[in-house]
Structure 1
């Protein structure tokens, strides 16, 4: 069972949906009627995996998390939380009311069967709208839009099926140290470093028996003082005992070894504990700021101190590193140590986890949350709902996950900003930033394009394909890849990004196959100040050359030279009509005069350029020019509208197929650029790729993840006999384990796959020993 939509009315900052109430001809639902008339609930849809709640301070974001918790648990519904600027807020007898929260619950097959057995009414679509009007009561809304109160048996049965809410504590950091006594479970009257220091300070001032007798009361008081274990201390204990799986007897043995001065045994135990932490925590998979990062233990007299070893091989205490790392570790350990219910789904709730994390740390946490919602080593699917102020904790590949809330004026209360999702949020915020060109220097992966229209098209259609279930490896990861619009300055921008420093970001370029694009390619090849090409030829994608290799079919009369030529003519005409209506203000009677036949006739004079033909026809009808970026924006908006249509309009399937091929090629090109930079900076790349995969996915993973790893291995392979054999073996792995089929499904016979993957590391060694025969070359 999952939450499809949350319903809130009169709860804290949420009053009612005043926008819906003011909408002409809005449908009044009987179950939303009150003594003061129709007051519709505010509805907030949730995604099936991850939902980000964004809003200003005091906009009601946290109140939404509280409402979800009340819906799922039935606890916390209080009259004192009734919205104070509601007209129904009262302090008089018989007039004080409860706020109301509820949810639309989406049922699995087993849920539906259990609900039928309980006799609970469901909607026509098989879902349930359940409401909590007051403590201990549950109402459901039937097909007739009327409320029905559940019996106690029905209510308890439904409650047992609801997802389990789990709050992640975002204000608790991992502690600097953990008491060995607490870990070993042995009795001790001194359990913390603070108590020990106070005891030593007290004893150091006692030089005589009289002083001892005089301070006996203070001494006994100190010994009897029991310091409560803090949430941070408990988290540290969970890390070692539950996540790292270190047995209690090991801590007992360590405590005795320290007491007896057996330093060799102490060092041996600590070394094994550190090995266990590294194996089970696997933090290097998620903390991208330092791939060599290690969390380690150092023994003291009564504590185990957490230290950090970075890429320099130096150990630091927590106090010597940023707070962000300790909070990231806290969030990660909380997720690992938490036991999810096996018989129902879970909703993870987080309130502003970005407070202590850097931009990179937030991106790392975002990947952890994605994995928590959809683990790649199991079929489990849970929901994550978090509140954030930060753009770095928003997945730019999935703008549809964002929910923006805003508090209106006077008695309006918190509302859902309905026009801040999908098309209006993504890709325009990403694509039209004020300092687009400067993003070339962030040091990640960069795709250089000629114009803003290319940014909008690629980002918008990329997000659309991901929402439709395309494999992530076949699309651009916009959390890592920056689309850099350069106009006619692509060669110079590439030189600035890559031509002057030792550490170079991975880059590729997409150029139109026109005069300016061909000239840009020549300039890139000639290089910058030192005559060295900023990119190799295979990292410069010319649209016409790519289309010819991939055998992309175009409209009759259209010659593919730029991304706009991939848009079918019927779709392009509809987009131009939208542009005329929205940007020019043309009436529908005039926009209808822009017809496909007129654009097709103009193709010959435009030398096969769809854009030139469309723009010329547009100018002849509306006596003004059409902007490429505006056209791209309207195209993305039109495609978003087709997602909810019962069938896709003519031309849209072909458009999706064309851009899916282009995006897959760009993703592979950037992957190749990334691996080349890694190869240039590090040796033993093949072993590193395989070892990282085995460490990150010891028990299973989805096929798409494995396919992406094999692509990285292909890019890392040398131009040699062993490289040819290596690529042949990766092809066999793809075929034998059907990695191209159902990419989001788990790999069958995973143990066999891992064994064959590990054996790839031996190919170069066998080639060096002369044991590999060169592959026969194809006949001319």
Structure 2
């Protein structure tokens, strides 16, 4: 059983559906008639998995969560929450009403059978429509849409079958510490640590009974201050909730037995430091093993949550990528709130029946990246990897970063009308590419290169609309994530005529550059834009390599087009029948034409405009539209009408004509875009890694230009090894480090100077080039021959690996050019940068060795 739709009337900011009441096509429902006439409920449909409710301040979005909680639990249903601006709000006898809330529930066949056995009426389609008109009263609608009140026994049995509401406490963060006594199941020490310290300091200065008698007033003053501090905490309930979270983390999530905390308390009291350290070490291992927080907290893959012992508390600490431990108070509060949400979700015992998770503005304390991490947790909660269970999630937010841009259908925008209109649902929230969603958020959700980690530059807004709309459609249809775009990670940037400059802004100035790819039309304008991009970077070098610039025709091999149409722009991928529908919808919505008037624009008229001289479908659409209506048509509007039409027919059993071809064409395009962006991302990761390695090497050479002891060199090699990632390229660099470490005997006699320092420096400078030389077949990775008595160099995986020596002038079979000397490569590698043109690389043989 899950909620299909929520019904709200007269609850807080919700009055009634003002727009529905006065719409000329509305049909009055007798079960919604009151003494003031027909007052329909505000109806908000919920997704089967996740629904995001967005609205401006005071729009009533949080009230919707409260209404859902009342529907499911029957609790907190009070007259005091009756809408104040309703005409039915009264203080007179027998005229005081309760807010009315309800829901439509989708049922399984088994649940339908159960309710039928209880003689609980259902609607004609098998759904259950339940209402709570007043406290303790439950009504349902029968097949004739008549209210039927359930008796107490029926209501109790129905309540047991309903989904359970679970409201996440978004204003409660994890505590800095948890009393050990509470964890051990005994009474905690009553005073805070700083007050205990003051008392001990006071008593340490008291020697003898007489002095104590003289200072007894001061002692009682300290005790009273400590007691007041304990009682006057800003929110005692909040502190209790925080401590409970800390206990749940350690006992429920980490699985630590309470007897372990008893042993720890005794070990601390008895000053058995060895046992204390052993217990704490095991507790930290249990936390790491069971929580696996690094899977969800993407801002630091080496993040670890730990505990440290104090006299009467366990203190939570955080170890980051630097290997340093910090207390919660030394880190941002966003992390502690994220951990709080994590603990609440994972320690919560889900009921046997389905559940509805309610969250009120969980974005308040989280950064943009933290909100994206929370989105992944919510996705897992609704669709767990290890269970067939499916629960619902409903959350309200102000933040654009807590909206899954791959799933615009999940967004519900609520708005408060003027006067007695009350809160209403905006029905077309995402039809106009997230308008009026942007307005409701209070800020323009900019589509720029500076939000997303990966960026796809397209020529115009129409490309942005088509790609995002079709991408969402393909994802809903079950396309693999690897062949679609994750719009939470990828930003579609309409560059237009400013494409070269936009790319320069995105990639031309900073040390760390975002991954970028470009999609251009295959027409003359697109070819000219490609030439400009190739010349538009710093020092005349392109801002993105040629393989990351896609021409549309090359990106969709095998795409199906209309007769005589040559595929050059995204509109050419649209079948004629759908293009005609979108153009006519544009005419009706923009020009206010009737169906008959819009039908003047025929598909035949559009197709007649496609000739061998003008093979563009879009040009034909423009020409036919101008001839039919004496005005032009915009690409963006055309694209939005096409996506809107597809959305209206998304649930049709038989897809409209042309849809299969459209899906196939755009599936091919989007798969190519996804692969290209993956290449861009991997290239950027490799560039950053190489740059980091080069920086570490340069720092070491600057610090020790003429020589150093082996121990300092060994430390430098460890830093370089730590900067490499767990890839084949990283394996090559680590193998090179192992060879250098072995050949120069860095692990023996650490205070001795390196014997052949010039060779060591040259080999160190050559390290970043080893992966490229390996790819070119100029270097081999394999077992070291122990015939010369040298030990194997082991990679971190334990596989023996070594780098064959590169001779200064090694000629193979007399048919290939000599290999460049290692020293020559090291000295001249800075002459070549990523972005050298193909002509430059071809003209200089050495560039083949080092150019990126």
TM-score, normalisation: structure 2: 0.77
Aligned counterpart in structure 2 of residue 494 of structure 1, from 485, 498, 503: 503
- Is the Cα–Cα contact under 8 Å of residues 455 and 514 in structure 2 kept in the other structure? yes
Structure possessing the higher relative contact order (Cα contacts under 8 Å, 6 or more residues apart)? 1
- Residue in structure 2 matched with residue 286 of structure 1 by the alignment: 296
- Is the Cα–Cα contact under 8 Å of residues 123 and 145 in structure 2 kept in the other structure? no
Structure 2: state its 5+ residue gaps: 690-723, 732-771, 778-794, 805-852
Per-residue CA deviation, residues 361-391 of structure 1 (Å, 9 max, x unaligned), is 2222122112111112321111111121222
Matches of 2:367 and 2:725, distance apart in 1: 31
Per-residue CA deviation, residues 338-358 of structure 1 (Å, 9 max, x unaligned), is 1111x2111111111122122
1:179 aligns to 2:179 (yes or no): yes
- Residue in structure 1 matched with residue 82 of structure 2 by the alignment: 82
Per-residue CA deviation, residues 70-126 of structure 1 (Å, 9 max, x unaligned), is 111111111222222212111122221111111001112332221122121111221
Matches of 1:450 and 1:480, distance apart in 2: 20
Aligned counterpart in structure 2 of residue 320 of structure 1, from 320, 330, 346: 330
List aligned pairs for 1:670-689, cutoff 5 A: 670-682=677-689, 683-686=724-727
- Is the Cα–Cα contact under 8 Å of residues 5 and 45 in structure 1 kept in the other structure? yes
Question: Per-residue deviation at 1:425?
Answer: 2.4
Matches of 2:585 and 2:657, distance apart in 1: 17
- Residue in structure 2 matched with residue 534 of structure 1 by the alignment: 543
Matches of 1:143 and 1:575, distance apart in 2: 39
Matches of 2:138 and 2:198, distance apart in 1: 55
* Mean Cα deviation higher: 122-131 or 81-90: 81-90
Question: Per-residue deviation at 1:426?
Answer: 6.4
Matches of 1:439 and 1:376, distance apart in 2: 34
- Is the Cα–Cα contact under 8 Å of residues 206 and 212 in structure 2 kept in the other structure? yes
Q: Give the secondary structure class of the aligned counterpart of 1:578.
A: helix
Q: Rate the CA distance shift 1:220–1:501 in 2: closer, same or farther, 3 A.
A: closer
- Is the Cα–Cα contact under 8 Å of residues 459 and 495 in structure 2 kept in the other structure? yes
Aligned residue pairs, count: 704
Aligned counterpart in structure 1 of residue 575 of structure 2, from 553, 562, 568: 568
Q: Give the secondary structure class of the aligned counterpart of 2:307.
A: strand
Matches of 1:144 and 1:443, distance apart in 2: 52
- Residue in structure 2 matched with residue 131 of structure 1 by the alignment: 131
- Is the Cα–Cα contact under 8 Å of residues 243 and 333 in structure 1 kept in the other structure? yes
Aligned counterpart in structure 1 of residue 618 of structure 2, from 605, 611, 624: 611
Q: Give the secondary structure class of the aligned counterpart of 1:67.
A: helix
Matches of 2:422 and 2:158, distance apart in 1: 31
Q: Rate the CA distance shift 1:205–1:24 in 2: closer, same or farther, 3 A.
A: farther
Matches of 2:534 and 2:176, distance apart in 1: 53
Matches of 1:499 and 1:83, distance apart in 2: 56
Aligned counterpart in structure 2 of residue 260 of structure 1, from 262, 266, 270: 270
Q: Give the secondary structure class of the aligned counterpart of 2:326.
A: strand
- Residue in structure 2 matched with residue 579 of structure 1 by the alignment: 586
Question: Per-residue deviation at 1:628?
Answer: 1.3
Aligned counterpart in structure 2 of residue 599 of structure 1, from 584, 600, 606: 606
1:336 aligns to 2:346 (yes or no): yes
Question: Per-residue deviation at 1:281?
Answer: 1.7
Question: Per-residue deviation at 1:464?
Answer: 2.6
Matches of 1:7 and 1:275, distance apart in 2: 48
- Residue in structure 2 matched with residue 63 of structure 1 by the alignment: 63
Matches of 1:14 and 1:379, distance apart in 2: 36
Matches of 1:598 and 1:764, distance apart in 2: 70
Matches of 1:531 and 1:131, distance apart in 2: 69
1:300 aligns to 2:327 (yes or no): no
Q: Rate the CA distance shift 1:200–1:628 in 2: closer, same or farther, 3 A.
A: same
Matches of 1:634 and 1:574, distance apart in 2: 8
- Is the Cα–Cα contact under 8 Å of residues 16 and 39 in structure 2 kept in the other structure? yes
Q: Give the secondary structure class of the aligned counterpart of 2:365.
A: coil
- Residue in structure 1 matched with residue 703 of structure 2 by the alignment: none
- Residue in structure 1 matched with residue 644 of structure 2 by the alignment: 637
Aligned counterpart in structure 2 of residue 557 of structure 1, from 552, 564, 569: 564
Q: Rate the CA distance shift 1:438–1:166 in 2: closer, same or farther, 3 A.
A: closer
Aligned counterpart in structure 1 of residue 555 of structure 2, from 546, 549, 572: 546
Aligned counterpart in structure 1 of residue 490 of structure 2, from 481, 495, 501: 481
1:625 aligns to 2:666 (yes or no): no
Q: Rate the CA distance shift 1:522–1:685 in 2: closer, same or farther, 3 A.
A: farther
- Is the Cα–Cα contact under 8 Å of residues 15 and 83 in structure 1 kept in the other structure? yes
- Is the Cα–Cα contact under 8 Å of residues 436 and 484 in structure 1 kept in the other structure? no
1:274 aligns to 2:305 (yes or no): no
List aligned pairs for 1:72-151, cutoff 5 A: 72-151=72-151
- Residue in structure 2 matched with residue 519 of structure 1 by the alignment: 528
- Residue in structure 2 matched with residue 358 of structure 1 by the alignment: 367
CA-atom RMSD, angstroms? 3.3
Q: Rate the CA distance shift 1:274–1:659 in 2: closer, same or farther, 3 A.
A: same
Per-residue CA deviation, residues 201-255 of structure 1 (Å, 9 max, x unaligned), is 5535644414535357678879999877621111111111111112222222222
Matches of 2:263 and 2:776, distance apart in 1: 54
Matches of 1:253 and 1:502, distance apart in 2: 52
- Residue in structure 2 matched with residue 35 of structure 1 by the alignment: 35
Aligned counterpart in structure 2 of residue 309 of structure 1, from 319, 330, 349: 319
Question: Per-residue deviation at 1:438?
Answer: 7.7
- Residue in structure 2 matched with residue 45 of structure 1 by the alignment: 45
Q: Rate the CA distance shift 1:766–1:197 in 2: closer, same or farther, 3 A.
A: closer
Matches of 1:53 and 1:336, distance apart in 2: 23
Matches of 1:27 and 1:427, distance apart in 2: 27
1:235 aligns to 2:245 (yes or no): yes
1:377 aligns to 2:386 (yes or no): yes
- Is the Cα–Cα contact under 8 Å of residues 184 and 261 in structure 2 kept in the other structure? yes
Q: Rate the CA distance shift 1:498–1:147 in 2: closer, same or farther, 3 A.
A: same
- Residue in structure 1 matched with residue 751 of structure 2 by the alignment: none
Q: Give the secondary structure class of the aligned counterpart of 1:236.
A: helix
Q: Give the secondary structure class of the aligned counterpart of 2:174.
A: coil
TM-score, normalisation: structure 1: 0.84
Matches of 2:65 and 2:580, distance apart in 1: 44
Question: Per-residue deviation at 1:133?
Answer: 1.4
Per-residue CA deviation, residues 580-622 of structure 1 (Å, 9 max, x unaligned), is 2222344544432222222222211553211112212222222
Matches of 1:428 and 1:387, distance apart in 2: 13
List aligned pairs for 1:594-743, cutoff 5 A: 594-645=601-652, 647-682=654-689, 683-686=724-727
Q: Rate the CA distance shift 1:501–1:59 in 2: closer, same or farther, 3 A.
A: closer
